[in-house]
């Protein structure tokens, strides 16, 4: 299954606002996407509540995974989103 590992770019980590933006983007992707902290168990990336429970801080590496015809494109987009400092936007 395609995966992307990315370090969280938001200054305050994956708190409500970045988690909301990720969940919205993952929900709109049209295929199931999971997110996990390195070594942790994956959760649905479209659920901002579950994403927040990862409590990922700035610089923490997370693993995005998806399966489907469009998976690579979707994962690239989501990884790019997480790498940005969403607290600055």
Partner 1 sequence: MSVAAHARTFQGVGVGRGLVVGPVAKAYPSPTLPGDGGGSPADLVPAFDRVAQALTARASAASGALADVLGATAQMAADPALRTEAARRVEAGETPAEAVDRAVARFVDMFTAAGGMLAERVTDLRSVRDRVVAELLGLDEPGVPPLDEPSVVVAADLAPADTAALDVAKVLAIVTQHGGPTGHTAIIAGQLGIPCVVRASGVMDVPTGAVVAVDAAAGTVVLDPDPAVHEEAQARSEAARRLAQDTSAGATKDGHTVKLLANIGTVQDAHRAAGQPVEGVGLFRTEVLFLESATAPTIDEQVAVYSEVLGAFSGGKVVVRTLDAGADKPLAFATQPDEENPALGVRGYRLVRRVPELLRTQLEALARAAEATGTSPWVMAPMISTAQEAADFVATAREAGLRGPVGVMVEVPAAALRARDVLEVADFVSIGTNDLAQYTMATDRLRGTLVDLLDPWQPAVLELVATTARAAGAVERSAGVCGESAADPLMALVLVGLGVTSLSMSLGAVPAVRFALRSHTLEQCRAAAEAALAARTAQDGRAAVRALADPDVVTSLAL
The set of catalytic residues is: 15
Report the residue count for the chain: 89
Cα 69–Cα 67–Cα 34 angle in degrees, nearest 5: 140
Give the nearest distance from C-beta 27 to partner 1 in angstroms: 7
CA dist 73 and 79 (Å) reads: 10
Nearer to partner 1, 6 or 86 (CB): 86
Which DSSP state fits 58? T
Residues in contact with partner 1 by the rule CB under 8 A: 12-13, 15-17, 19-20, 23-24, 27, 43-44, 46-50, 52-53, 55
Give the nearest distance from C-beta 38 to partner 1 in angstroms: 18
């Amino acid at each position: 299954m395609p995966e992307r590992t990315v370090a969280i770019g938001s200054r305050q980590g994956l708190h409500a606002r970045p988690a909301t933006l990720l969940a919205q983007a993952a929900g709109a992707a049209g295929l199931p996407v999971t997110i996990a902290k390195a070594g942790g168990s994956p959760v649905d990336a479209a659920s901002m509540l579950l994403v927040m429970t990862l409590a990922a801080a700035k610089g923490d590496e997370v693993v995005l995974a998806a399966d489907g015809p469009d998976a690579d494109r979707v994962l690239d987009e989501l990884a790019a989103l997480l790498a940005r400092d969403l607290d600055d936007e």
